[in-house]
Chains A and B, each alone.
Chain A
């Protein structure tokens, strides 16, 4: 791609360029640099946060001009308080100007999920293990299998990209042979056995696929005999979202891992999935053959790790965007719920948008520089984790609220489902108690259908409308909470 190649040749581009798009392209190409072996980044990253001066961090991101550097240095304040040692480098930078659209877009891009960070922190151990495993297999020319598991958003695919770069660097250094790398996402297969076609194609690109036997049989044949040519390379197969290959008889998954057990196999298999016990549950035979895959588990991020990753992303910017307490609040909440990095990044971007709307609406422009505060982060967090159920119930029309109320009262007696006919009787009782004229049963079943569409109730099928079964999909406590503002319902639901 010519545009990106041109960007690499000029490290110090024009900042005040009239076109914003080439600027954006450069930023991406520079941040997604896979050539630099960044595998050997131990806990030094922590100390580098303290010792790195703002000047050096400014130079790292090529899109800042010299003038900003001068102002940044002049505003340096030496903070020696032990409490905020780690946050020193953040607070020493000038506060950003959110009304400047260029700064805004740069910050948002730095926090976007698709931007790969320059340095991958908090995953050094796992990456080291994977790289050691690959190196071992390549050096000994032995096949092997590895299984990577972890919740979504824990950095598995990101680390694999890094590992690929590491291996390339190592091969160049030692002059050894770089294995063929085949990275596939198993969701793209309509037929699960196509994975063997892909492996066969990659290992023997020139050979025509033999129509008589399947790709799997050919591979098995190939790996059971000693190869004629002595310089066949090892092949690293990275299978992402491995659980899509699980069929009812689990044959494909078994055969895939069994390929690595054949005597002359050249396949190094790395499977990535979410389930921790995939190997145990679906590959019991491998245990008996004594070639169970090693397991590297990527645990969910803890609060400190999330803060570290967020800071590392914001490190490249020459100004502070967030108040440290805001970052801490976000990390704490996300770590407590899922430990998913994508969610944390999304919430940070949401907090920036809260700041934007606040500045747009406020008339006083006295504070042109303002950081993202804890209250912005709190609003963004509540938006992310709030369920729309309570709001929707509060805005339902009156009769539908009465229907919900009667469902709750009916289910309090211990039953968990009922029919529309029975519900009608309860509903008429409640309406009579407040002198509201009840609607007919046809309207009632219509309203139940509307509530079922929205996911609040669940309606069964039946020939007769009156006999359709009704169950509650929403928590009873949510309904009581939502309706507590209206006195009638409060008394009713007591």
Chain B
């Protein structure tokens, strides 16, 4: 009973870690060369020196752009309370300029505890935004604009981007514009006058290399020794994990996973299903957990479908395949039956299904 509770506690701890992006990406934030430190340096120097800046975060989906940005903003809000206000916009929700201005005005009102009127026109909203930027500049408060899905803001006439970046050209405002996009050519989508106002700074987020993945694995799966779990259970668990990691078969599994998709989010999903497969009776992770997790992540639904087919259906599939080999692009029921007849004639011990039975097959299988 006690063991079961311990195991459950351990599983809950591991799952909590896997669902917390802060925990996962804080591992990569230590080195001074990491994207975390570079981003933090840029935003904090804009805050302390009271100048305007803009930066673009690029990289494939699932590589931690939003997570690292959230980490940076959290740390900076602790370091400089009351000197930063954050406005978040998303290109999927606010790509229309009027909608975006309304959202900016609403978030500014919430930050500064003002009343927001839904009746305000877009002119009023844009003047409000410019006035607020000026006020914040005088009060030495930096406004950080986070534009998620930045490439969607670059559609149409790009009025919002132009007005934001133009406001940053004046001395009276103190703002940082951070664009996040998964398109590598996001800055080529901008009009030339918007691109001229946007600084050339880009931070590239790449999926981790193999040794970084190993570090991440150990960081997540090794249980902490100073937790409420019993000490010998923890040491046993950790030693088993280390043995698995050193196993060659485990490396093959990881290679198979990362050859198709090597982003951090995919890896975390894989680890999550592995953790969920832990047998509560034994209480420790085994190689089998990882194998079953791999098959859950890399599913082949059509293969699963084929496993349930009856023999007749399989025959028909084989006939169609043979027709394909003979370079016939389209086929009807008669050609398939002809092929089936040739198979029956060449190989004697094939089952002979009558034509009427075969007619029923396509209807059931769609």
Contact = CB atoms under 8 A, between A and B. Distances in A.
Interface residues of B, number: 55
B366 interface: no
Nearest to B173: A114
A152 B162 CA distance: 12
A255 B129 CA distance: 31
B52 A397 contact: no
B184 A397 contact: no
A392 B171 contact: no
A241 B197 CA distance: 14
Nearest to A243: B193
Interface stretch (B2-10, B236-244, B258-266): B258-266
Interface stretch (B68-76, B199-207, B224-232, B245-253): B199-207
A392 B60 contact: yes
B60 A450 contact: yes
Contacts of A383: 200-202
A12 B52 CA distance: 27
B184 A114 contact: no
A399 interface: yes
Contacts of B183: 453-455
A456 B262 CA distance: 17
Contacts of A400: 260
Which of A109, A187, A440 gathers the greatest number of chain B CB atoms within 10 Å?
A: A187
A21 B140 CA distance: 8
B138 interface: yes
A interface, by DSSP: helix, strand, loop or mixed?
A: helix
B122 interface: yes
Interface in B36-50: 41, 48-50
B50 A443 contact: no
Interface stretch (A76-84, A301-309, A340-348): A340-348
Nearest to A455: B183
B182 A454 contact: yes
Which of A24, A274, A454 gathers the greatest number of chain B CB atoms within 10 Å?
A: A454
B32 interface: yes
Which of B122, B162, B196, B262 gathers the greatest number of chain A CB atoms within 10 Å?
A: B196
The contact size tier of chain A is 35 or more
B215 to A, nearest CB: 17
A185 interface: yes
B258 A391 contact: no
A338 B197 CA distance: 13
Interface in A356-401: 357, 360-361, 383-385, 387-389, 391-392, 395-400
Given A114-B51, A114-B52, A388 B259 contact: no
A397 B49 CA distance: 41
A388 B169 contact: no
Contacts of A387: 184-185
Interface string A470-491: 0001000000000000000000
A364 to B, nearest CB: 17
A343 B206 CA distance: 26
Nearest to A439: B260
Nearest to B127: A188
B260 A447 contact: yes
A455 to B, nearest CB: 4
B201 A350 contact: yes
Interface string A406-448: 0000000000000000000000000000000001101100010
A389 to B, nearest CB: 6
Interface in B12-60: 32, 41, 48-52, 58-60
Nearest to A152: B196
Contacts of B206: 391-392, 395
A96 to B, nearest CB: 16
Interface stretch (B282-290, B296-304, B347-355): B296-304
B192 interface: yes
Contact of B166 (A185, A357, A455): A185
Interface in B156-195: 157, 159, 162-163, 166, 168-171, 182-186, 192-193, 195
B106 interface: no
Nearest to B98: A190
A384 B168 CA distance: 20
A113 interface: yes
11 contacts: A105-B49, A108-B51, A112-B52, A187-B159, A187-B162, A361-B32, A385-B200, A387-B184, A392-B59, A440-B300, A450-B60
- Please provide the 7 A-B residue pairs with the shortest distance between their CB atoms, ordered closest to farther: A152-B196, A455-B183, A384-B200, A152-B193, A397-B262, A395-B206, A398-B259
